C-alpha cells in the first residue's frame, strides 16, 4: 500500500508540475503579448505612425476589391490639397468623377473612452470623441468635396471596428456628419461592402456599355445589309437583262447564221450539179 501510495503521489506531483510549467509558459506569452500591445499602443500615439496605419489598411482594402485603374492615391483635388485616396466613378466626356476617401484615427479620445471606468468620465470621453470626429468631417468637407470634379459627398475611413462602432451608435452624430458635412463614416467591413457594391456598379456599367456597342454594331450591320440587298437586287436585274439580251442575241444571230449556212449549202449543191452535167456532156462529145 505504501509503495502504491508513493507511486500515485509521484505521478500526481509530476502532473501538477507539468501543469504549473504550462501555466508559467502561458503567463510568459501573456506578458509578451501585453508588451507587444503596449508597443503598438505607443506606436499609434505618434500621429504620423497612426496616419500611416490607417492609410495602409485603407489601401489594402481598395486593392483587394477594386482594379488598379479604378482608384488613385494621393490625388490633388485643388491647389495643394491632396486626398489620400479617390475612387474613380464614371463621369462626363471620359473624365472620371472622384469619390474622396480619407482615413482618420482619433486614438487618444478613443483610448480615453475605453479606459474610462466611471459614467461621467465615459460621457466626457464620448463628447470629446464626437468633437474630434466633427472636426475631421469639416476638414474633409472643406478640402476634398469640390463638385463637379468630385462627388457631393466623401467617405471618412475609421481603421478599427471598435472606433467605427462607437461613432455609429451615436445616431445623432452619424446623421449630422451626413446632413451637415456630407460625410459618411465607414469602417473596414462597411467600406468593403460599399466597394463591393461599387464594383457591381462598374460591372453593370461595363455590361451596359458593351450592350450599347453590340446594338451599335447591329445597327451598322443592318444598314450595311440593306445596302447589300439593294446592290444584290441591282446586280440580279442587270444579270437578268444581260441574260435576256444574250438570249435574244444568241437566238437571232443563230438563226441568221443558220440561214447563211443553208444558202452556202444550196450554192454548193448547185455547183456540184453543174459540174456533173458538164462532165456528162463532154463525155458524149468525145464518144461522137
Burial of 168 (0-12, 13-18, 19+ CB in 10 A): middle
Average pLDDT for 126-151: 92
d(CA 180, CA 213): 41
Per-residue pLDDT at 15: 72
Q: Which helix (H) or strand (E) holds 104?
A: none
Per the model's pLDDT, the better-predicted residue between 30 and 260 turns out to be 260
Per-residue pLDDT at 51: 54
Per-residue pLDDT at 228: 59
Q: Is 75 helix (H, G, I), strand (E, B) or coil?
A: strand
* All domains of the chain in start order, with CATH: 40-186 (3.40.1350)
Per the model's pLDDT, the better-predicted residue between 167 and 8 turns out to be 167
∠ at Cα 81 (173, 159), nearest 5°? Answer: 45
Q: Is 182 helix (H, G, I), strand (E, B) or coil?
A: coil
Sequence-distant (6+) residues with CB within 8 A of 81 are 143, 144
Cell reading at 42:
505607443
Burial of 266 (0-12, 13-18, 19+ CB in 10 A): exposed
Q: What is the DSSP letter of 150?
A: B
pLDDT at 44 over 50: no
Cell reading at 7:
507511486
pLDDT at 222 over 70: no
Average pLDDT for 11-39: 61
Per-residue pLDDT at 260: 72
d(CA 142, CA 138): 6
d(CA 239, CA 245): 10
pTM, whole model, 2 decimals? 0.56
Helices (H), 103-187: 107-115, 119-144, 161-168, 171-180
If one counts every other C-beta atom within 10 angstroms of the C-beta of residue 137, the result is 24
If one counts every other C-beta atom within 10 angstroms of the C-beta of residue 55, the result is 19
Amino acid at each position: 500500500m505504501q509503495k502504491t501510495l508513493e507511486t500515485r503521489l509521484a505521478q500526481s506531483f509530476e502532473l501538477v508540475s507539468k501543469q504549473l510549467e504550462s501555466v508559467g509558459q502561458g503567463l510568459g506569452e501573456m506578458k509578451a503579448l501585453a508588451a507587444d500591445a503596449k508597443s503598438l499602443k505607443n506606436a499609434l500615439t505618434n500621429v504620423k505612425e497612426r496616419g500611416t496605419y490607417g492609410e495602409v489598411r485603407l489601401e489594402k482594402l481598395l486593392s483587394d476589391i477594386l482594379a488598379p485603374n479604378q482608384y488613385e492615391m494621393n490625388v490633388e483635388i485643388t491647389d495643394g490639397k491632396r486626398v489620400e485616396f479617390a475612387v474613380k466613378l464614371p463621369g462626363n466626356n471620359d473624365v472620371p468623377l472622384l469619390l474622396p476617401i480619407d482615413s482618420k484615427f482619433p486614438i487618444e479620445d478613443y483610448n480615453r473612452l475605453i479606459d474610462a471606468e466611471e459614467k461621467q468620465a465615459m460621457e466626457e470621453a464620448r463628447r470629446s470623441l464626437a468633437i474630434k470626429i466633427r472636426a475631421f468631417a469639416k476638414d474633409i468637407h472643406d478640402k476634398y468635396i469640390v463638385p463637379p470634379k468630385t462627388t457631393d459627398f466623401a467617405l471618412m475611413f475609421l481603421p478599427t471596428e471598435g472606433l467605427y462602432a462607437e461613432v455609429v451608435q451615436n445616431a445623432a452624430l452619424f446623421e449630422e456628419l451626413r446632413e451637415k458635412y456630407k460625410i459618411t463614416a465607414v469602417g473596414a467591413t462597411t467600406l468593403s461592402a460599399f466597394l463591393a457594391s461599387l464594383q457591381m456598379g462598374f460591372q453593370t456599367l461595363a455590361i451596359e456599355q458593351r450592350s450599347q456597342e453590340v446594338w451599335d454594331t447591329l445597327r451598322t450591320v443592318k444598314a450595311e445589309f440593306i445596302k447589300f440587298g439593294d446592290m444584290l437586287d441591282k446586280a440580279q436585274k442587270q444579270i437578268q437583262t444581260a441574260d435576256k439580251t444574250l438570249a435574244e442575241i444568241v437566238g437571232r444571230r443563230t438563226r441568221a447564221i443558220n440561214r447563211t449556212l443553208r444558202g452556202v449549202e444550196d450554192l454548193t449543191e448547185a455547183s456540184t450539179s453543174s459540174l456533173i452535167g458538164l462532165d456528162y456532156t463532154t463525155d458524149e462529145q468525145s464518144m461522137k
